[in-house]
């Protein structure tokens, strides 16, 4: 392989990019215990902030605060790279204010009501010191406590995960061990580490992203891999099956392709939002199959796609999609996902088109 095209950024997951493994799934049910303890010393407050950051923030901002996550590639503007920030330009008070109130025009939502004042101060202090000031790498993620026993056995892939070896290095220049490491990275690690480092960005196109590490798993096929810290995240796989509806117009088929390329990452291929990323968000990604033409008129749907939805992570697509593309996308959502006017449950996988 001469180069690694940009589609590799979406081939595995969503970091979450820095996230995406089943190891973090238990954390979604409740914050780490460290976030509920009372910090009595600066060191304890710092570690409390670390626990909150690792639970709430790393999905977009990266485990080490550098915003090198797959989720970051889908957001415009991109999340803040704390490690690249000048401490004088990003003081503690400003960080705390954004954590509390959010940042208009971005996917950064305010955490007031989710975190209390002490927790906001702790996580802001952690970011200010750990990333902005010290440019530190945070703690190791692949630990036994996080569900990764014996992670060193995968060491052949580490040079690609760390960016020490470009992923698009010509295969003939790699040793047999490096070739093995590259294959392991592409079949497993890329789900969270994104593309790592490449010499050539390659063509600007992408395959349909999925919100769970695939590890060779194909929804509906009997080749599910053994459950482990990565592949067991595929409990969301059933929501990544693209709805099959006959009789769609050319514009609706185009809209369906746009949905899978741009919207499925959060809303799931079936539009329910019941995938790893959609359920991670707060508020969660909307279940589009719960709407009717009355509750989601076509004009409102187009406006939401164009302008985004304040107070959520739904960004504005008006600067990404052309008006005709938004029309096609909204047409497909209305035809395939939105409930019929009679309120019957929308059919995600039917051989016949709706009237």
pLDDT digits (tens, 9 = 90+) for 223-252: 444 444 444 445 677 788 889 999 999 999
CA-based angle 57:61:65, to the nearest 5?
A: 100
**H or E element that contains 339:** none
Range in 8-22, 149-163, 285-299, 311-325 the model is least confident about: 8-22
pLDDT score of 304 more than 70: yes
Each domain of the chain, given as residue ranges in start order, spans 22-133, 210-355
6 contacts 206 by C-beta, under 8 angstroms: yes
Question: What was the pLDDT predicted at 347?
Answer: 44
Phi, psi of 134 (to 5 degrees): -90, -15
* CATH code for the part of the protein at 22-133: 1.10.760.10
Query: Over the stretch 33-50, which tens digit does the pLDDT of each residue have?
Result: 444 455 579 999 999 999
How far CA 142 is from CA of 34, 184, 274, in Å, comes to 19, 16, 26
CA-based angle 141:142:145, to the nearest 5?
A: 90
The span from the CA of 263 to the CA of 108, in Å, is 18
Phi, psi of 115 (to 5 degrees): -110, 145
pLDDT score of 74 more than 50: yes
How far CA 94 is from CA of 101, 119, 121, 204, 320, in Å, comes to 10, 15, 11, 35, 29
Query: Over the stretch 245-289, which tens digit does the pLDDT of each residue have?
Result: 999 999 999 999 999 989 998 898 899 998 878 887 888 999 999
- How high is the mean pLDDT of the chain? 77
The residue-averaged pLDDT of 198-222 equals 53
169 contacts 191 by C-beta, under 8 angstroms: no
pLDDT score of 184 more than 60: yes
Question: What was the pLDDT predicted at 194?
Answer: 63
The span from the CA of 165 to the CA of 19, in Å, is 22
> What one-character-per-residue DSSP string does 262-286 give?
IIHHHH-TTSS--SHHHHHSSSPPP
Name the residue with higher pLDDT: 227 or 93. 93
Neighbours of 154 (CB within 10 A): 16
The sign of the torsion formed by the CA atoms of 255, 257, 261, 264 equals positive
In words, the CATH class of domain 210-355 is mainly alpha
Question: What was the pLDDT predicted at 212?
Answer: 52
pLDDT score of 2 more than 70: no
The span from the CA of 166 to the CA of 120, in Å, is 38
15 contacts 79 by C-beta, under 8 angstroms: no
22-133 and 210-355 agree in CATH topology: yes
The crossing angle, in degrees rounded to 10, of helices 117-126 and 42-56 is 90
Q: For residue 165, how far is the Cα from the chain centroid?
A: 24
Quick check: bond before 285 cis, omega within 30? no
């Amino acid at each position: 392989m001469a180069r690694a095209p940009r589609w590799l950024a979406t081939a595995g997951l969503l970091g979450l990019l820095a996230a995406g493994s089943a190891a973090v799934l238990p954390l979604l049910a409740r914050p780490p215990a460290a976030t509920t303890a009372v910090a009595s010393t600066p060191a304890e407050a710092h570690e409390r902030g670390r626990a909150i950051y690792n639970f709430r923030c790393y999905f977009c901002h990266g485990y080490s605060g550098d915003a090198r996550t797959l989720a970051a590639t889908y957001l415009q503007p991109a999340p803040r790279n704390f490690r690249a920030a000048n401490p004088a330009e990003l003081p503690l008070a400003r960080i705390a204010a954004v954590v509390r109130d959010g940042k208009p025009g971005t996917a950064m939502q305010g955490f007031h009501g989710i975190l209390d004042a002490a927790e906001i101060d702790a996580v802001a202090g952690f970011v200010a010191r750990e990333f902005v000031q010290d440019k530190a790498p945070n703690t190791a993620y692949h630990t036994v406590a996080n569900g990764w026993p014996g992670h060193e056995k995968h060491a052949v892939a580490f040079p690609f995960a760390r960016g020490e070896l470009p992923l698009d290095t010509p295969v003939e220049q790699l040793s047999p061990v490096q070739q093995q490491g590259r294959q392991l990275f592409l079949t497993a690690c890329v789900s969270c580490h994104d593309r790592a480092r490449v010499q050539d960005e390659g063509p600007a196109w992408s395959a349909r992203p999925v919100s769970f590490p695939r590890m060779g798993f194909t929804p509906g096929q009997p080749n599910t891999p053994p459950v482990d810290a990565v592949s067991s995240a595929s409990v969301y796989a059933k929501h990544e099956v693209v709805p099959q509806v006959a009789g769609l117009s050319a514009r609706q088929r185009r809209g369906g392709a746009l949905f899978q390329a741009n919207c499925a990452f959060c809303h799931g291929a079936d539009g329910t939002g019941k995938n790893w990323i959609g359920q991670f968000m707060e508020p969660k990604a909307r279940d589009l199959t719960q709407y009717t033409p009355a509750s989601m008129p076509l004009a409102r749907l187009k406006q939401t796609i164009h302008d985004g939805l304040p107070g959520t992570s739904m960004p504005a697509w008006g600067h990404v999609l052309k008006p005709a593309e938004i029309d096609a996308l909204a047409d497909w959502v209305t035809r395939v996902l939105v409930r019929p006017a009679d309120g019957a449950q929308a059919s995600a996988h039917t051989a016949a088109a709706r009237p």
